[in-house]
Structure 1
Amino acid sequence: MDTDTRNQMILIKGKDQTDCVASFRFCNGMCEVIYVGTPNKTYRFQDRNVKVLSLQKTIDPDSVIVIAKGKKLNTVQAIWDFGAYYRILFDEKLPLSFPKDDVELQPNCLADTKNKEVFRYFTETAEAVSLVTENGLNILRLQYSKISKVSDDTVLANYLDPQKSQTMSESPSTIIYPFGLNQSQKTAVEQALSSKISIIQGPPGTGKTQTILNIIANVVRDKKTVAVVSNNNSATHNIAEKLEKKGISFLTAFLGSLSNKQIFLADQSGIYPNMEEWELPPDKRQQLEQEITALSQELNLMLTAKNRIARIEQELLQLNPEEHYFKEYYSTYHEEPIVNLDCFSSQKILELWLEFEHFIEQKKRLGLLQKLSIIFRFNRDAIKLFVNTPELVIPYLQNQFYLTKRRELENERQKLTLKLRQYAFDEKMNELTQKSFQLFKAELAAKYEWKTNRRRFESNDFRRNSDEFTHEYPVILSTTYSIKGTLSLDYVYDYLIIDEASQVDLTTAVLAFSCARNIVIVGDLNQLPNVLSEADIQRSETIWQTYSLAERYHFSTHSLLSSALETWPTAPVTLLREHYRCHPKIINFCNQKFYAGQLIIMTEDNDEPDVLTMYRTAAGNHARGHINQRQIDVIQQEILPQLRRQNYQSIGIITPYRDQAAAIRKQLGGYYEVDTVHKFQGREQDAIILTSVDNIITDFVDDPHMLNVAVSRAIHSLTVVTSQDPRNDRTNYGDLTRYIEYNNFAVIQSQVYSVFDLLYQGYAEQRKAYLRKRKRISEYDSENLMYSVIQEILSDKLFSSIGCAVHVSLATLIRDYSQLTKEETRYARNLSTHVDFLMFYKMDKLPILAIEVDGTSFHRPGSQQCIRDEKKNRILEKCGIPLLRLRTDGSNEKEKIRAALKECETPAADH
């Protein structure tokens, strides 16, 4: 039978002889074979040594990536499936055959039409926005042009098709922490090692580098490869330095650019570090693993306690100024009832306050059943309060709330501190770190034949021998821009860690995604984003308009981080909450303003003076272009002498503009670190001076990302220099001014007090429970409904600086009664007179808008309540607090509230 090379495969003694065999014939247990080269000669084989396989199917070579014996095959023209074997045909090479066990056919995600469309969009965009070399080479276009296939196993496949299931990695039985840990970092490491895609949000000073190092250590001990990249070399240099300090930099290769590769090749020593002291026998390594696992589990509870102590410190930090301002208010009352409430919790005091309010509203004497109820729910002493006036009782209970709240927090802190001391928390943490590093080094000593000479690689090894290279150097450091071409274009890392992901653009991200099986995305949406030129935006927008793609792929509106969060909404996201850099008073501004209070501040407040200082230069046109000479003079003549007297080791001056930075350097010399916000990201100084430059702060200067970065560079002292113009009050810098003045007890005397936020937060929660329990459904529902509407409005970034208090007494609000008539004063001092909702600035708690919800029948014209309403209107107007009245049967409440808030937010100079 003539050989049909298209439909048959002939195996003789296990080798593919199809192309060599002209014909064959099975006869009497033998197989007679005539070869192409010897047509007149017949060879006889036992039939068991000859197998003829029939073609089962053909596979489209464009749909798969062929990996044979661990190597990718290129220029594949056809794939024939013969059951137990594949026959691979090439453009300009002889066919090859492999047993199926030696071949992996990885689906090519670019074979999918939708995926291909998205990839084409990024290819076109990359070409339009890429850097071009002096000889006209478009760098990104070159890299994209070399990609025709991408494995379905890569992160890019999941990015192009987010619905694609993510194969979960199996988390190691033992996770090590050789670089230390806290609760958030522990979670982040665990998530990174057990997820194909994980995201770590790393606010300033929260130890993201430490987290990355722990992930690296665990990946390497699992005999896997990891590439660590960022948009610039400084972040990856930081990683390299930390590994070098630990004596394990021999694991890393700092590559990427041609110059980096040349430096690496030249610096190869050809030897390993001496690992003799690292070595441990297998049983000892196993014992260490068990000890690390046990310690790690033990520490979970203690880490929770440690964080709770830090939370308590934060609560006390916020309680201090509010209590200070409350004392000012309380000092206007000269008597108080003699009732011992020491046995009550702060929550019980709020409950008693509500019970007393209810009693006053009833305008009846206490009956026997009410007395018994109060004795049962509170105690016998509480009855004494109910024979006093509201003017005595309510301020007294409010004062007791603050005293009790402080006592509760201090007692809890004391108990938890004792618990940690008894456990020897610090010693146990050090033990976990040391044992983790001991195990890691022992495993490295077992992996590397460190007594032999180390292989020296040559430049062509990066491309030709990527596997051998990464076996020696499993940690590759590079820029995001260069990682795709650092080794073989086909090389896929087990893990890719992208640092500062908010600064990485999408065309660069897509290339990086194509060379990783698993990814850890590290960044912070509240820090500096990637900056695009106007020309790049215009060019990319022109291309975007020709496609109809999901918004998550929009080049000009997304960074890698924001796109990843939108693309993979179910991927684990860990916020690193524990902050270790700045003084609590400094970072708490960023915490409240940008992180919704989620950070846990681990630094201590020791009542240091002048942590926060504000200089507001007199109004006037001091700025010329992007230089403000008046602010420079204030820095030189007033601020720096004061900071020098405080002996700060390092002082930095931050400005939004390069021109101002240059002018400051010229005037002050080179003694101080002076730079723009963008250049200061990733750095820190003991004392920071922030100069805003603009007379009237522009949107550029007021950018929240820039302000967050600038403030969080300061370790011990922050001084802000800005211009005193009313139009700046409603900016982010205005919020910073309010925060500093509020916390320095320097709020300008006004007709009203700051809102007692912590007091009314607790009161609001107790009030909800109280109304619900007493089935005052109508009151409860209408108040709850409106509160929900208000909270929804305040969740808008536009109003993120505004808070809301419920059922606020006018007496706790009005400081100056001189403009009120006697009747208005009497009404305002009545502690039962309140506003339903009071909107205030979060940073200094000063009120900006009151909202009243009026029932249709109760507030009808001519009624007693209507007369009281008019009185309240006049009082609030005289105190400078705008009032918005809404009806329970009204409509468009949300739009009315938004409009009123916008009106309040508009600077007076703009009216």
Structure 2
Amino acid sequence: MTDPHREAVLIRSRDQPGFHDKTSQVLDYVVAADFTFVTFQPASSPRKYRYSAQNVMILRNPTREPIEDRDCVSIRGDPVQGVTEVWRFDGPGQTWWRVFSLTSGREDYRTCRQDEISIVHAAEDATEAYDVLNYWHHVVSHLGQDDPLRPLYKNFRAVPQGSILDLYLRGEALDASAEIGELIFPFSSNLSQREALMKGLTHRISVIDGPPGTGKTQTILNLVANIIRSPGTTVGIVSSNNAAVENVRDKLAREGLGHVVADLGRSDVRRKFFAGQHAENVEVQRQAGRSTVSLPAAGRISDLDKQLQHLQVMARELAMRRQELDAYKLERRHFSQHVDSHELPPLPALTLLKRPSNRILEFLAQTAAVPANESRLKRVFRRFKGRFRYGSTKHIDPDNTDVILRLQAAFYDSKIAELEQQMERAKAQLDQNDCPGLEDELRHLSRQALDASLYQRYSGGRSQGYSDDTYRRDFTNFANDYPVILSTCHSLRRSIPAGFLLDYLIIDEASQVDLLVAGVALSCARNVIVVGDLQQLQHIAAKGASERARPAPAPSYDYGRHSILSSIIERFGTDLPRTMLREHYRCDPAIIDFCNKKFYGGQLVPYTVSDPDNKALIVVRTAKGNHMRQHVGGRTNQREADVIAEEVLQEFCSDTRPEDIGVVTPYRLQVDKVAEALVNTIQADTVHKFQGREKEVIIMSTVLDETKNGRFGVEFVDNPQLVNVAVSRAVKRFILVTNYDMLPASRHLRDLVQFIQYQDPEHGVFDSAVVSVFDLLYKEYSAVLRPLAARLQNTSKFASENIVWTLLLEILAEATYTDLAVAQQVVLRNLLPDLSRLTAQQMAYVRNRATVDFVIYNRITNVPVLAVEVDGFAFHEADPLQRVRDGFKDAICLAHGIPLLRLPTTGSGEEHVIRQKLATAILD
């Protein structure tokens, strides 16, 4: 009887094409000159057949392949369970493999060709990696029986050696792994996108933070172009949903690159792809048949890239100056209202008023920092020196707040004029260098270079036509023909043969990709580029699965807490190659300014230009009353739906086509309610469904009211990611439709309402007993004041103020207080809308440069939250006159609703007291 561990008998019969393994049926064989005689089982009645020599292969002396318990062996894409041995038989022209396995205690084996087997060797010394993988398996065991992850994880037991999953689970150092040659930019690029490209192509793991409207898809397309330019290199693009990858596919197709893409996602998409191969092959044949291919001049792309980097730095500076100018003009409008309400006398013609803005601030800071006990000699010297810096100032009293307000107004005028001049110079330089022309040339030459590379790839035409049933058997050729594989995270592992590693994996919309499905996708590639935005909607963990599973072996791999984006960021920390795309191209500057300040720390740079005739942000309140209704499975608000249909569309959307209008709401039931009231061409959907889309006008219905049930819904509706997504869908105009009280119990929506009101100082701000903090003025003022005060003052109170300043900065740096900022030595009169509520004594006190040591304010809305005074014993408690002044300040703050915290320098526990007071003030 033939021993299957030592030899293989392969026979080609008339009714079956190719050779087939008959070893298990063979009792004996005899090899003659032209024939082979084979005797088949059973032994009790053997049958003997004669075959031509070319129809029988006898393979001997196999080589044993080392296999460990966690290694994964698959035949024709199907994992083999219980593998005990694997043997390789080298035959004439082809290698055959035999896989032995135990099934129900009985040994069996299967034989296959070289191209039908996949052996994935598990990563070595990967105890930590398998702890995580086992934890994920435990979570999957608690998912629903119909969850698509269950069958995926049934065959997902190994961490493939060399895969990016192995590196991610080990958490090893992310040093630069590759050097790259000349970059190409066929889809245009900017500074942030170029940096992301560099990091993505030189590191095995990298992250691209892609806030709304920052050209995330453009970045992915340029990554794809540079990857497939290298012969034989492959890239997979996946997401949690089909829309994101379809966007990439469509843009490649529009650029004439559809033939490089294999769309292997949903079954219907896959069928469409294989059915459409002929049309794509025609394009391949056309390219392969060209007699010549144009190539850019050597070094020209690199030279253009360098030139454009320099010009793009200038363009970014121009956009930042425009952003700064808009902010100063808006704050100046608020300040003008403030000054007009105080009916100030004019200042005499002063040289100081014509000085640069920083010189005016310097004068204000220096006069504020002068110590009370300054000697006569020092005062004379200071004034003499000041005459050369500021001109004559003998006719003005720097302690008179009328003077201070006039000088502050002069600061704004000077600053705005300076910014306008800087912009004009930057525009002139950019115009001289024809930046758009150079960008067009770089795109054109980059496309030439890409086409030349694809010509080489397809010079022999396509290897063959493929079908859904056969493409995995020749996947190396398939991947060379279709180097860009599109799929969903769930489908990728099933779309490629087991053990095959793509060179690159790009995970789009990564904040919505959970760890379980991401882990499977990461096992399919050598490198990964994770693209997403932590400030947009996150993945929703399967209800109960995380809670019932055992704890994660490390916090960064916790399924319930993390998406793949947040996990990688936490796992690698500051060592992670990470780039934020900063240049913003979608929204009106006022719209993205809210998102920028609120969610992105002011890092975004809008390249859009505001239209003075367009009111970009609007709040519409319903009539008084509570209009929300609670239902099983959600909430609705018929009044808000009626207001949208009958008032908002007519008053604020008459200049916009219905198909360019979107209505979003947190609740599915409200979507149905709104849709009933709208024309069919206006799209209404939940905020979650609108992520990744945009409309000229977005209308948001918040649904909630001030009933008990309404307040219970605040936590869901006031989700910061939800608010960010809703606002940033709007290109030209965002309209918030909310209840009459405007959700005072919310945090993020309340900030949005107050931000919108701040944008329209003449009409949008309700009567208030307090003025918004002049944020830009005091930021610059503080930067000038602090070093001056440190040089001129040497008192215990000043030292105590420094300690409190440092403490406040530390507290406000925490996540709880990221919406807050602090200003120093704020002139009290800057906080008061007018002096009408003051007594004569209080008025005199305020007019004499009364200040507040620190004002903590909401940096989104500039609304004061808490005033802080540092009371030195000698200066306050031991001085009766100062105690009277303190009483004035206390009474004024109380009358105007400004919470005031006094911190005596002889006290203790300041941090605890500040936190308590801040918590109370924020809730109010």
Instruction: Tell me the alpha carbon deviations over residues 841-863 of structure 1, each in whole angstroms, 9 at most, x when there is no partner.
Output: 22332222111111233322663
Q: Matched residues in 2 for 1:777 and 1:276: separation?
A: 83
For residue 266 of structure 2, the aligned residue among 253, 257, 260 is 257
Partner AA of 1:199 in structure 2: V
Residue 776 (structure 2) aligns with: 758
SS at match of 2:236: strand
Task: Give the fraction of aligned pairs with identical amino acids, expressed as a percent.
Answer: 34
For residue 609 of structure 1, the aligned residue among 604, 608, 614 is 614
Decide whether the 8 Å contact of 1:814 with 1:879 is kept in 2: yes
Residue 337 in structure 1 maps to residue 344 in structure 2: no
Using the TM superposition, give the Cα deviation of residue 821 of structure 1 relative to its aligned residue in structure 2, in angstroms.
1.7
Residues 840/678 of structure 1: CA separation in 2 closer, same or farther (3 Å cut): same
Q: How does 1:317-466 map to 2 (within 5 A)?
A: 317-331=326-340, 332=342, 333-341=344-352, 344-359=355-370, 361-362=372-373, 367-376=379-388, 378-379=389-390, 381-384=391-394, 390-449=400-459, 452=461, 455-466=464-475
Residue 115 (structure 1) aligns with: 129
Residue 799 in structure 1 maps to residue 817 in structure 2: yes
Residue 543 (structure 1) aligns with: 549
Decide whether the 8 Å contact of 2:186 with 2:222 is kept in 1: yes
Decide whether the 8 Å contact of 2:742 with 2:753 is kept in 1: no
Decide whether the 8 Å contact of 2:288 with 2:459 is kept in 1: no
Residue 880 (structure 1) aligns with: 897
Instruction: Tell me the alpha carbon deviations over residues 595-624 of structure 1, each in whole angstroms, 9 at most, x when there is no partner.
Output: 111111011012123221111223312111
SS at match of 1:525: coil
Partner AA of 1:851 in structure 2: V
SS at match of 1:490: coil
Using the TM superposition, give the Cα deviation of residue 106 of structure 1 relative to its aligned residue in structure 2, in angstroms.
8.3
Q: Matched residues in 1 for 2:160 and 2:284: separation?
A: 40
Residue 877 (structure 2) aligns with: 860
Decide whether the 8 Å contact of 1:692 with 1:701 is kept in 2: yes
Residue 682 (structure 1) aligns with: 692
Report the TM-score when normalising by structure 2: 0.84
Decide whether the 8 Å contact of 1:106 with 1:153 is kept in 2: no
Q: Tell which deviates more after alignment, 146-155 or 607-616.
A: 146-155
Decide whether the 8 Å contact of 1:200 with 1:523 is kept in 2: yes
SS at match of 1:544: coil
5+ residue gaps, structure 1, are 7-54, 82-86, 99-103, 133-137
Q: Matched residues in 2 for 1:706 and 1:94: separation?
A: 54
Residues 755/487 of structure 1: CA separation in 2 closer, same or farther (3 Å cut): same
Partner AA of 2:122 in structure 1: N
Q: How does 1:4-23 map to 2 (within 5 A)?
A: none
Using the TM superposition, give the Cα deviation of residue 199 of structure 1 relative to its aligned residue in structure 2, in angstroms.
0.2
Number of residue-to-residue matches in the alignment: 829
Q: Matched residues in 2 for 1:183 and 1:763: separation?
A: 31
Q: Matched residues in 2 for 1:726 and 1:221: separation?
A: 54
SS at match of 2:543: helix
Using the TM superposition, give the Cα deviation of residue 272 of structure 1 relative to its aligned residue in structure 2, in angstroms.
3.5
SS at match of 1:537: coil
Residue 753 (structure 2) aligns with: 737
Q: Matched residues in 1 for 2:770 and 2:159: separation?
A: 65
Residue 583 (structure 1) aligns with: 588
Residues 178/74 of structure 1: CA separation in 2 closer, same or farther (3 Å cut): farther
Q: Matched residues in 2 for 1:73 and 1:433: separation?
A: 49
Partner AA of 1:561 in structure 2: L
Q: How does 1:503-542 map to 2 (within 5 A)?
A: 503-532=512-541, 536-542=542-548
Decide whether the 8 Å contact of 1:131 with 1:140 is kept in 2: no
SS at match of 2:142: helix
Residue 703 (structure 2) aligns with: 693
Residues 62/281 of structure 1: CA separation in 2 closer, same or farther (3 Å cut): farther
SS at match of 1:269: helix
SS at match of 2:874: coil
SS at match of 2:873: coil
Residue 61 (structure 1) aligns with: 68
Q: Matched residues in 2 for 1:474 and 1:323: separation?
A: 55
Partner AA of 1:116 in structure 2: Y
Q: Matched residues in 2 for 1:779 and 1:868: separation?
A: 17
Using the TM superposition, give the Cα deviation of residue 207 of structure 1 relative to its aligned residue in structure 2, in angstroms.
0.8
Q: Matched residues in 2 for 1:445 and 1:726: separation?
A: 61
Q: Matched residues in 2 for 1:282 and 1:66: separation?
A: 45
Residue 175 (structure 1) aligns with: 183
Q: Matched residues in 2 for 1:387 and 1:524: separation?
A: 52
Instruction: Tell me the alpha carbon deviations over residues 558-587 of structure 1, each in whole angstroms, 9 at most, x when there is no partner.
Output: 111111111122111111111111111111
Partner AA of 2:880 in structure 1: S
Q: How does 1:523-672 map to 2 (within 5 A)?
A: 523-532=532-541, 536-545=542-551, 549-569=553-573, 570-625=575-630, 626-648=635-657, 650-672=660-682
Partner AA of 1:895 in structure 2: H
Instruction: Tell me the alpha carbon deviations over residues 707-748 of structure 1, each in whole angstroms, 9 at most, x when there is no partner.
Output: 111111111111111112275264211111101111011212
Q: Matched residues in 2 for 1:722 and 1:624: separation?
A: 14
Partner AA of 2:68 in structure 1: P
Using the TM superposition, give the Cα deviation of residue 772 of structure 1 relative to its aligned residue in structure 2, in angstroms.
2.9
SS at match of 1:330: helix
Instruction: Tell me the alpha carbon deviations over residues 830-888 of structure 1, each in whole angstroms, 9 at most, x when there is no partner.
Output: 21x11111122223322221111112333226633222212211111111111111122
- Calculate the aligned-residue CA RMSD, in Å: 3.3
Q: How does 1:57-96 map to 2 (within 5 A)?
A: 61-62=68-69, 77=84, 91=100
For residue 212 of structure 2, the aligned residue among 204, 210, 233 is 204
Residue 143 (structure 2) aligns with: 129
Partner AA of 1:712 in structure 2: S
For residue 848 of structure 2, the aligned residue among 830, 835, 839 is 830
Residue 916 (structure 2) aligns with: 899
Using the TM superposition, give the Cα deviation of residue 392 of structure 1 relative to its aligned residue in structure 2, in angstroms.
4.7
Residue 228 (structure 2) aligns with: 220
SS at match of 2:314: helix
Q: Matched residues in 2 for 1:598 and 1:166: separation?
A: 25
SS at match of 1:877: helix
Decide whether the 8 Å contact of 1:691 with 1:722 is kept in 2: yes
5+ residue gaps, structure 2, are 7-62, 89-95, 101-107
Q: Tell which deviates more after alignment, 622-631 or 705-714.
A: 622-631
Residue 848 in structure 1 maps to residue 855 in structure 2: no
SS at match of 2:535: coil
Decide whether the 8 Å contact of 1:735 with 1:801 is kept in 2: no
SS at match of 1:497: strand
Residue 58 (structure 2) aligns with: none
Instruction: Tell me the alpha carbon deviations over residues 295-346 of structure 1, each in whole angstroms, 9 at most, x when there is no partner.
Output: 1111111111111111111112211221111112333311213212366332
SS at match of 1:646: coil
Partner AA of 2:474 in structure 1: N
Instruction: Tell me the alpha carbon deviations over residues 617-647 of structure 1, each in whole angstroms, 9 at most, x when there is no partner.
Output: 2331211121112112211221111234324
Residues 742/898 of structure 1: CA separation in 2 closer, same or farther (3 Å cut): same
Residue 26 (structure 1) aligns with: none
Residue 143 (structure 1) aligns with: 152
Decide whether the 8 Å contact of 2:796 with 2:872 is kept in 1: no
Using the TM superposition, give the Cα deviation of residue 88 of structure 1 relative to its aligned residue in structure 2, in angstroms.
10
SS at match of 2:693: coil
Instruction: Tell me the alpha carbon deviations over residues 116-135 of structure 1, each in whole angstroms, 9 at most, x when there is no partner.
Output: 22111111212322561xxx
Residue 826 (structure 2) aligns with: 808
Q: Matched residues in 2 for 1:311 and 1:882: separation?
A: 35
